[in-house]
Amino acid sequence: MSRSRPLAGRTAIVTGASEGLGAAEALALAEAGANVVINARGERLESVAAAIRDAGGNAVTCYGDVGEQATADRLVAVAVEEFGSLDILVNNAGIIRDRMVFNMSADEWDAVLRVNLRGTFLTTRAATDHWRRRAKQTGEPVYARIVNTSSEAYASGPPGAANYAASKAGVVALTVSTARGCGSFGVRANAICPRARTEMTGDVFGPGPRTGDDPLSVDHVTPLVVYLASPVAEPITGRVLVAYGDRIDVMSAPAVETTVRSASRWSQDELHDVLGGCLSPPPTETTPVVIR
């Protein structure tokens, strides 16, 4: 395996690839040797495909709504028909509809969950079904990598984005469950939480520096995606990784902070005495930083 082209001969699907992080991921995977099937709904998808081809890579476009099962099925079919296999799935498609929860409409909730979580599920379902059938046919595990895009919002709970935070929490749970449920036939699934300056996050991070390196450039995230998609990342699965600038934070699963016990059934007074002190926020509590 060439270190400069660790994905030579592999085929990857990238959703939400018409701009921002998704486009950068598609370009990086192609540079690493992968054939790429790129998905989005916008016309800018063609310019990303053209850039990949101009750089000597192979790319085909597959337009469609990731919230539709037909799109997920078509993505897998196109990968196999055009390049002979599917090896890597990168779920990047996502939207925001920010509003305080008491002002949020059911449609705004549904729209975000539909793209961010349902879309990730549908492509995961289609890909893992394909890989499971291949493993049954060959009698051995397949090469299969999933990189899902979550967000630190799943843990920080930004006050004006309950739908977004919930969708990204769901992506983490889906990723871990997929890793555990599909590992036996070769699937390795991980989630990344990128801090990246894109059109979608422009209101959060603001403009980048006028000169010098931008620590929130998408180019700081793409090496991790390529690595997780590569053969050497075989042992890594079911993990959540925050990536930005020159650092990667490895997240741990939720842990027990403290345990309290009662000699008998809890009374309201006892609950207040025991939990009131350890769960009440400190007087100097600050507003959490909103991170996407």
Cite the active site residues. Answer: 151, 164, 168
The answer to whether the Cα torsion of 107, 109, 111, 113 is positive or negative is negative
Which of 189, 153, 146, 157 lies closest to 168, judged by CA? 153
CA distance 208 to 95: 21
Q: Which 3 state secondary structure label does DSSP give 198?
A: coil
Q: Name residue 146's amino acid.
A: I
Instruction: Quickly tell me which residue has 């099925």 as its tokens.
Output: 73
H/E element, 63: strand 59-63
Alpha helix (H) ranges present in the chain?
20-31, 45-54, 69-83, 106-113, 119-138, 153-156, 162-182, 202-205, 222-229, 268-279
Q: Are 145 and 233 in contact (CB under 8 A)?
A: yes
For residue 220, which phi and psi values (nearest 5 degrees)?
-85, -15
Instruction: Quickly tell me which residue has 């739908």 as its tokens.
Output: 163
CA distance 65 to 19: 15
Q: What is the CA radius of gyration of the chain?
A: 21
Chain-centre distance for alpha carbon 132: 22
